[in-house]
Chains A and B, each alone.
Chain A
């Protein structure tokens, strides 16, 4: 069983609020990812990290930011939430440098912006 955690699981907030979605893993993986998941759509990669102090933007344009100060922690921040940010956010991790490797996913955060 994967040891990757996300909090909160569900979040309902008003427009304009700043929020941080937390993601932590205890597997020592160097690579971490944030995906946005909407029903019937592909998972869209919004941010990823190869290790501490490394962050990259993914394929999907996003108004969020991420940080990677510790290996195990990869939080995602929305400075000013909007209804268009309503979605499911999935965090994942994998071992560094191995394209054969499995991605391990957290349970997700379902965000609703009113």
Chain B
């Protein structure tokens, strides 16, 4: 069975500082990995995903995540955050050939201070 651990429930950071949101997963088979973002009073929306190929994936708004198979991690990073990045971030994993239903982590609240 697959599982996801997001190590930080809350990450406060100042505007223009770098940030890393950590995600580790557990699975006995190969996986697909996702990061979703949830802005206040909205549903989740896909930020980026790793399916295969290059282990570094990027979003259109400057976030990136690197799949590390040996450490079973998929940490999300941004070199310089904006106030508008304040949101809840969810890591999710889906096993290849599995049920097609992802398992979500508990979420990390990114709080960007001016």
Judged by DSSP, the binding face of A is loop
Given contacts A2-B45, A100-B32, A107-B42, contact A94 B104 (CB under 8 A): no
- A41, B106: Cβ atoms closer than 8 Å: yes
Q: List residues of B whose CB falls within 8 A of some A CB.
A: 4, 9, 32, 34, 36, 41-46, 49, 51, 90, 94-107
- B98, A108: Cβ atoms closer than 8 Å: no
- B102, A103: Cβ atoms closer than 8 Å: yes
Q: Which residue of B lies closest to A106 (CB)?
A: B43
- A99, B46: Cβ atoms closer than 8 Å: no
- A40, B94: Cβ atoms closer than 8 Å: no
Q: Which residues of A (80-114) have their CB < 8 Å from a CB of B?
A: 90, 92, 94, 97-108
Q: Which residue of B lies closest to A98 (CB)?
A: B100
- A33, B101: Cβ atoms closer than 8 Å: yes
- B9, A40: Cβ atoms closer than 8 Å: yes
Q: Chain B interface: which of A13-21, A42-50, A60-68, A69-77?
A: A42-50
Name A102's contact: one of B46, B95, B97 (CB within 8 Å): B46
Q: List residues of A whose CB falls within 8 A of some B CB.
A: 2, 4, 6, 31, 33, 40-43, 45, 48, 58, 90, 92, 94, 97-108
- Point out the residues of chain B lying under 8 angstroms from A101, CB to CB: 100
Tell me the smallest distance from the CB of A48 to a CB of chain B, in Å.
Answer: 7
Q: Which residue of A lies closest to B104 (CB)?
A: A43
- Point out the residues of chain A lying under 8 angstroms from B106, CB to CB: 40-42
- A99, B95: Cβ atoms closer than 8 Å: yes
Tell me the smallest distance from the CB of B61 to a CB of chain A, in Å.
Answer: 15
Extra contacts, 10 of them, besides A42-B4, A43-B44, A99-B98 (Cβ < 8 A), are A2-B45, A41-B106, A42-B104, A58-B101, A92-B44, A98-B100, A99-B94, A99-B99, A104-B45, A108-B43
Name B90's contact: one of A43, A102, A104 (CB within 8 Å): A43
- Point out the residues of chain B lying under 8 angstroms from A45, CB to CB: 101
- A99, B44: Cβ atoms closer than 8 Å: no
17 inter-chain pairs at a CB distance below 8 angstroms, sorted by A residue, are A4-B43, A6-B43, A40-B106, A41-B106, A43-B90, A92-B43, A99-B95, A99-B98, A99-B100, A100-B49, A100-B51, A101-B100, A102-B46, A102-B49, A105-B36, A105-B45, A107-B41
